[in-house]
Chain A
């Protein structure tokens, strides 16, 4: 899962990025509206954390611009202004949820998780694919109700595919969503990780669609 954090306060930005990285997200960061808007326009994100009070271009304008261009990724608003008038403005511009400053990072993580899940069309925090269960809240994977130990890379890969189960996910899409913008996209790491995942799970949930990518079957 790839997340963009747009926050101009360097310390807060660092804290959020650290917490998200710890939780297994791939995180890009921006410190002003212009940079954030550019990243949101060019990179595919599964969620964006957007501060409203940004230098250069304010958050609502950035958000409006994204929505005008047809970007539909879930956007979580950070706002110091807890008046409803400001929140309503953000929601009208296309925000999906908000967190009011000051906040605990844990709360932010819970909201991001819920947003990503909802965007993929899952109502609960646990997504079940046959014998495999993805617990998004705890950040773990269970096979036949037994937890499986995965590295954060492996977890991210599986989580992305399970979130989008029933749909073919190309290798390029996985690369875009699992690595930050500086990653070398030509490598074959995805195949290596998929191989390891299959071995660790012991259940054949990930199917290879030759020339297209991978798919996690709905009821596999």
Chain B
């Protein structure tokens, strides 16, 4: 017994050491100390907004980083943020006047130099911005004077303001150059309403930036501390919000949203988003030359095989709607009438498969995430026409990666267009010949590129319509439905979901 005690004392010592590090995080409160705890699903390696494009990362970015301008989520109008005014000098030149007296979290002043450095740095493809579409249109950014900056685009860039507002935060050039990109991702400094207090150990802790400027479109926060906790398991996340351990969660399955309504301490909502779900098909043969999906008849058969109406009515919930286009109907240029529509018709699907020489069906890998039930429903509809789909349900980023790396023939995924209300962020990103693009149709890529570089709205619409027509005719995707986001949060929190799927905690407050 003595020896056992000795033995456990050694262990106890180790544990105490461990405890010293693990126990320092304070207990999380709520309204009393104006803090809020958020539950999110995935960890990420960096907070750099140009690299961390996972949705939770984008949300954190918009609390920490400020862009030049801001897009109002209700009116979709641009409003001043770091820039007080902006104008097109010509088709390819945008000029911004910067707000004076803005400081970064470390107290250093923001000048045109910072803006130019940030944009020029990330416009270089060698620096690895994750979404190239948001930066590749920039030719160079030029300092005019301390508070004036000009962005020159390579070609006319009609969606430029959308990108400037949505995915081009401004970094402090001195600090960034001093610590380097890697370190910056761990300890970012920027000009947003919150600064990063700590990052790591399953927690991102933000505190209000005391010197945040007044007069921009983002409100000075009333909630002073935001704790983003990583809770990988959806069930645990729901348990935590019921139990009050966290104050706010999203990505709640729609079934649970309906049931959580009865919990007296919670408010729930199922809100529409700019996100669309689709089944992408390996038309280019990335999983193997001449695989069945390279045959347009097979892809059309897949389109006919899936009963999207039933899936949407029962498994999507809220205001979710069936889409027939490879873009969100709200987005500019997303013309539903241009699309070829495939009705649910399993008989037709079987005929097409037989015609293509696959009367006995074939096997394919189907990747998915977000909602296992929906993915299994698709799997079952495919099985009904003889297509055996091996389902692989992973977390968001690994699942998307397996599509991009061409490991799976079908991917029932979704695309949030970085919350940009322009088809250049959907068609332009998913059919651009990059790893997102499983079609590799040069005509479509060219159309999307042209549409993103002419200024005339009608001309742009016509180009997108043509792209949509080809994409649906060739059945590169099964366009599925819009995504409805399920939220559950403490009913003492004043919070309103937005269409752009970017919760703003500087706008939220405790009642």
Q: Is B one of A's binding partners?
A: no
* Residues of chain A having any CB pair with chain B under 8 Å: none
* Residues of chain B having any CB pair with chain A under 8 Å: none
